[in-house]
Chain A
């Protein structure tokens, strides 16, 4: 069985501040891990993915995430938040790599304040 836990359903940061969105996973086999972003009234878009290559993964819009096996974590970070980053972020895990059994977390709503 596989699962992800996103800590904090709502996160608020100031513009220019560090963004840190937390994700912990559970998987009986080496996982594939993903972060997706959903802007208002849109579907989800892939931000980045970890597929057992480099543990530090860089994605679009300045986001990155680090796979830490010892902590079973895959936290999403961005050094400096921008107003346009306000969205809902979903962590997801797949144990097959094919993505057909992708399990999503419950999401974190990011608010960016001036």
Chain B
């Protein structure tokens, strides 16, 4: 089975801190995604990557950046965390030509 691993289940940070959320997948998938999940809003796409060092903005990229130096790892960066970035962050991956997304179990980030 595909495994998508997010490094932290819970994270608490202070306003203004730089935050790194890490995601690793073990099935050689080309495509990786970062979503945030908020009650009543569903999942919203922040960024995605279709290849190493390639990235594209999703629907809500403001305040975030990403890094994909290796195929299996996709990092989400909050340059200066703010309270409105308190949310559940979900990483996902997908193989080219296959519509099925595989999700990690999420990181609940609280920014105080």
Residues of chain A having any CB pair with chain B under 8 Å: 9, 32, 34, 36, 41-46, 49, 51, 90, 94, 97-102, 104-107
Whether A46 pairs with B42 at a CB distance below 8 angstroms is no
- CB-defined A-B contacts under 8 Å, sample of 5: A43-B105, A44-B90, A100-B56, A102-B45, A102-B101
Q: Kindly report which residue of chain B lies nearest to residue A6, judged by CB atoms.
A: B42
Residues from chain A with Cβ under 8 Å of B33 in the complex: 100
Given contacts A43-B103, A99-B101, contact A104 B94 (CB under 8 A): no
Q: Kindly report which residue of chain B lies nearest to residue A39, judged by CB atoms.
A: B105
Partner among B40, B44, B99 whose Cβ is within 8 Å of the Cβ of A34: B99
Residues from chain A with Cβ under 8 Å of B99 in the complex: 32, 34, 49, 51, 94, 97-99
Instruction: Give the distance to chain A from B70, nearest Cβ to Cβ, in Å.
Output: 20
Residues of chain B having any CB pair with chain A under 8 Å: 4, 31, 33, 35, 40-45, 48, 50, 56, 90, 92, 94, 96-106
Please report the C-alpha to C-alpha distance between residue A102 and residue B103 in the assembled complex, in whole angstroms: 13
New A-B pairs, 16, CB < 8 Å, besides A97-B99, A99-B99:
A9-B40, A32-B99, A36-B101, A43-B92, A44-B43, A45-B103, A49-B100, A51-B99, A90-B42, A99-B31, A99-B101, A100-B48, A100-B94, A104-B42, A106-B42, A107-B42
Residues from chain B with Cβ under 8 Å of A45 in the complex: 103
